[in-house]
Structure 1
């Protein structure tokens, strides 16, 4: 009986990487896939998996390595080619020798994660046992980098949860064509593949002449939501980073793809054409790929591709992308390059651009900003300028505000300027705080010349940090929920997060502030980078640590809270997938349970707009006040006798005050499953836990629920909140002359409650 799976392994010039690849296929020194010790029909036995390695006249020691492995592994066969065939030719030679019912083309510088062969063969057996076996099984994968780091498949959100999980065609899930078109994460039913009458091309991009036809013609595609492949990126010699005339090989592969579509009468030509044009222009635009002396010819081939394969009735995309496509179709390379460089079209062409004028105008505006920004970047760095921002330029808040105030005191020669999204946001800044508005000349100059960046989120990726600039990332909360790269396996929570862009942003950080040991542990993994971790405590919590009874009383007076009222701050967090503010608690019902001796302050998450809705309380009920727009959440902490939250990081900040916290968690199991968490909040809460209205009202009416739990929580999460965090950060980042150094983080003091005040 033929094997279930044939693995075809083309090998050329990968001596450093080959042993790891072979070992991951179970060909190491211990019994595993392919060894005689494996019984028949066991995943990886010779009866189930065969491995065909093709030595493509490798110039190094790969041939000897393969022979050594084959001598002790009957499941491995080695073909030694007498002349170099290239990656496509080697795969073709291996496919001709394959006997498996399915075939998988694995690159010999990559490797499979542990347990992959067993998982894949089990999935293939299930497919064969079903009524309609998959023609192609797609697998998930990870990108791996030379520094040992990795990142998940950036297109995973287009696959997981899609019809591909159960099985469908490409026509039923066209988003498939936006994912990687490489061959290595696709396992083909061999009879189907051979029946397509397609072949791997020669030179670069050799596999797309197989993958496109296979995906478009398959009667059934399946996606296995498991990382089954580690694709090595960034190694020398990879085509994605190599300047070569062979990048023009892509056009021969396009011709083969469209010839197949015509033979089969397939109707996906618009989608395929758009994808090929996008790829060709990406190759042209990427610095260092197409040699300078060949760029004119390469662009002419893009224009010829338009002439040969533009589908009938094709209309250009909207916006600036459509302008670029039009220029490529006309062969207007100078105009295309000018538009890419400056955002402007040459004057002679602008007269003919009325049909695309709106998109051109948008391009001009963005291009003019880009040109101005690059011009400002030619100026010397301003050693005495720091740019501050918080919450996507929405206001003056959080750790950056605390650092700004302490820097004005300790490093007054460093001028601070705040970034505001709009004039309306700028109007809310405190009096006397300098600011610039996004995309104005002042903003572009500040971002291009500042010595220091301070933000609690990331600046736009277009504002690239210059050599010599110091970027301080503060973040904005102790994490309960999964963050950053830890979301790579949680697409619903990641909500389309671009992990490539995130890694790029983290690579710009020089310092990251940590509020406590718990955060240090998890942020180091969630945001992998070479920055220095500042274990200082959160600057924004200094005010809470140092607050006295008089400040709490003054805040309550400013908020108009009556003396003697017990004040409850209700502040739920954002939940992915629920849209706007969808409370799981009827605060009006709670107000009636608490009675007139209470005041409820309701604060929605800053992702939500429009406040908390109708909060009219009945007669005899607690007063309800919507404080969603109050600019300083620290005011609300100081005013409140007790905090009610669910999974918000506010619980960690409020714990600095050593006041009661009640966790309202009616959906903990669902939230934990969907978002992922770093610890079991139900096992280690900061206070009482309620899952329904009755329990919540009972906890709030009690004198001081769960004081012991709060003490343990403070010891774990507030050890550095001693009032000196901002000074520790400023002395680390800015030039501070004189004065005694602030001591290391100490135990957090206890602040007086409003009742005590």
Structure 2
């Protein structure tokens, strides 16, 4: 049996790494080893690597103290490889079912060639299987073993190492080709084909290769010149045809011209790169070179003449044509919008105010959630930073005294949005907001995802139809930091929002109060809500359904209140998406059957005041689990919800407590004690271990110290077993009574 060493290099790949590692472990133990290289990653990626290494003896963890180039990281792992063949993939890539077995069969039938090249698909958030374009190149070689000197067209294959396996001793004999790919994999990809005497083709898609989703500033582009120098030296040492040189040359120039369009290159860097590219053009131009007849031919001419000014003029003319078209579209906007944009553009000319922070929550609904917790901690640790909240006009009366605020669309709103150094939100700011260089955007999110989010919603048209995902990702691309409450969220946010950001695995600041509140705080909130001493307060907080325009409680609340009796009281909170019009709860509240807390500002205080939570699929369950109090899941429409909305796991299996599939079952749980029996307690403990990783009462402090104070060392997360949540109401009453004696 052919044995494989699959070398996985992972740099902050937590959103995809599990799928990648699972796909690589597709052969029996004696057939494969996986060397997972944590390339100086975040804690989330490192934890996944260690988890797999501990769970499966075929996985070997390699931790690098700081990020290396892909080639250098691969070289470290290759020294430990014991397989007959090496396969190099990125932690965001994924092997297809049966890929390794098919490669093993192909290696056996071709007599152990130096390399086997296979097909792949490219994966983006909008399409998981875009053809590589390499398929046509697999036709001519057929089933025979060959070299590129017999099949020059093979040099057109996508230049990546992840679309081939290499015999281990071949890799070792040509190791100088594989560790110099700082910017792209040109030298190892093309060089390995040129160095191989025996190549085999496997006309099968064996890999889903995930490509960067957004243009980012790429560094190390000058390394390309060293790679091509080495390639041309390798070509000079081999008996090659003019056709080989023409293919390598055309690919080289195409790649150089692409680098010149990368966003973020300043004028000096672009000019220097252009002049170096011109040198290579003249040095390596084949004797039979013919300039392309299209617009690229003009660009070739500029390189051949080393005319950077001509190239710039050509690019400027193209931009002007695009600008004219863009302006024609913009001209259709309303005059009022244009006036606002004009005022905003004027503000954008002013320098940033380093001591100004803007906060918003829930589409400007007021001072709430994690932004509010960060705001409070910021006032404590950095009072020199001025804070302004964005609050829609309807909610201005609810703004706490002393809080500075602006109304969206006002003149001062545009001023603070343009000048603030820091912008903090638990949703995205509007499209009209421009991310300026130097501004820092903090995305706190407002829940742990059970339901599919972002681009993960695409396969569920019932809820994603009409969503402009490109616009969504443009908004998300403004994030500098994404605050995460648990490892599940960290992995999900990276996959669902494939844009560059740094994950802050610090916990949700809004949940700090679940560990800092005192017994007196708990009783004071209950008194404010009108909960009589001794009654069990059940917080019922369902989520919304995307397929429901108006909310009708799925529980018959009047019946439930009567059946549970005086020992219990229902605190009912409708979802904020349904905050307009008459509430179906008002009549029940007026009659004293429930307490309607839909408009109560702080969900966290409602959690502190309650003895248990009843919810369906709301993310409030993940937060409430920090309190280590009973949770009952009412899942009467789980099959419908999970199929139409899409979910990340089966809540009926991995639940935070008892599950009721009907109103009768929910009522029986409370009447018979099932809501807090041993089984429910064990389920809650398992749920807390998985989803309460980071919340320990110090999340806001960690965010403030890292983002606003620039401190690299923040307080470490306290282990789950060492945390003490706020006391439950029954315990709080006893503690207060004891202290009063």
TM-score (norm 2): 0.56
Query: Please, which of 566, 572, 576 is the counterpart of residue 606 of structure 1?
Result: 576
Query: Please, which of 556, 567, 572 is the counterpart of residue 597 of structure 1?
Result: 567
The answer to whether structure 1 residue 443 and structure 2 residue 418 are counterparts is no
Q: Indicate the residue corresponding to 1:632 in structure 2.
A: 602
Q: Distance in 2 between matches of 1:439 and 1:726?
A: 29
Higher mean C-alpha deviation, range 713-722 or range 553-562: 713-722
Query: Please, which of 716, 724, 727 is the counterpart of residue 690 of structure 2?
Result: 716
The answer to whether structure 1 residue 731 and structure 2 residue 705 are counterparts is yes
Number of equivalenced pairs: 475
Give the Å deviation of 1:623.
2.5
Identify the structure with the greater helix proportion. Answer: 2
1:685 and 1:709 in contact (8 A); partners too: yes
Q: Indicate the residue corresponding to 2:370 in structure 1.
A: 399
Deviations 1:520-577 (A, max 9, x none): 1222211222211111011000011222221111001111222222111111111111
Pairwise CA RMSD: 4.7
Q: Indicate the residue corresponding to 1:70 in structure 2.
A: 140
Deviations 1:709-757 (A, max 9, x none): 112222221132211110011001002799x953334323232111222
Q: Which has the higher contact order (CA 8 A, sep 6+)?
A: 2
Return closer, same or farther for 1:536/1:561 CA change in 2, 3 Å cut-off: same
Return closer, same or farther for 1:568/1:441 CA change in 2, 3 Å cut-off: same
Q: Distance in 2 between matches of 1:579 and 1:669?
A: 20
Q: Distance in 2 between matches of 1:676 and 1:68?
A: 38
1:447 and 1:463 in contact (8 A); partners too: yes
Q: Distance in 1 between matches of 2:711 and 2:703?
A: 14
Structure 1 stretches lacking a partner, 5+ long: 1-23, 25-29, 32-36, 38-63, 75-106, 115-142, 151-233, 248-287, 300-332, 344-358
2:374 and 2:509 in contact (8 A); partners too: yes
Give the Å deviation of 1:246.
9.0
Return closer, same or farther for 1:393/1:245 CA change in 2, 3 Å cut-off: farther
Q: Indicate the residue corresponding to 1:389 in structure 2.
A: 360
Return closer, same or farther for 1:664/1:622 CA change in 2, 3 Å cut-off: farther
Q: Indicate the residue corresponding to 1:147 in structure 2.
A: 212
The answer to whether structure 1 residue 516 and structure 2 residue 486 are counterparts is yes
Return closer, same or farther for 1:616/1:447 CA change in 2, 3 Å cut-off: closer
Higher mean C-alpha deviation, range 599-608 or range 725-734: 599-608
Q: Distance in 2 between matches of 1:604 and 1:290?
A: 58
Q: Distance in 1 between matches of 2:354 and 2:686?
A: 44
The answer to whether structure 1 residue 413 and structure 2 residue 384 are counterparts is yes
Structure 2 stretches lacking a partner, 5+ long: 1-95, 97-101, 104-108, 110-133, 145-155, 164-207, 216-254, 264-291, 296-311, 734-741
Q: Secondary structure at the match of 1:453?
A: strand
The answer to whether structure 1 residue 743 and structure 2 residue 716 are counterparts is yes
Give the Å deviation of 1:582.
3.0
1:592 and 1:617 in contact (8 A); partners too: no
The answer to whether structure 1 residue 752 and structure 2 residue 727 are counterparts is yes
Give the Å deviation of 1:596.
2.5
Provide runs of 4+ in structure 1 moved above 6 Å.
64-68, 107-110, 234-238, 244-247, 288-299, 336-341
Q: Secondary structure at the match of 2:427?
A: coil
Alignment of 1:31-180 (within 5 A): 69-72=139-142, 147=212
Give the Å deviation of 1:590.
1.0
Q: Secondary structure at the match of 1:601?
A: strand
1:245 and 1:290 in contact (8 A); partners too: no
Give the Å deviation of 1:668.
1.1
The answer to whether structure 1 residue 567 and structure 2 residue 537 are counterparts is yes
The answer to whether structure 1 residue 645 and structure 2 residue 618 are counterparts is no
Q: Distance in 2 between matches of 1:639 and 1:562?
A: 11
1:455 and 1:472 in contact (8 A); partners too: yes
Q: Distance in 2 between matches of 1:735 and 1:67?
A: 55
Return closer, same or farther for 1:589/1:729 CA change in 2, 3 Å cut-off: same
Alignment of 1:19-30 (within 5 A): none
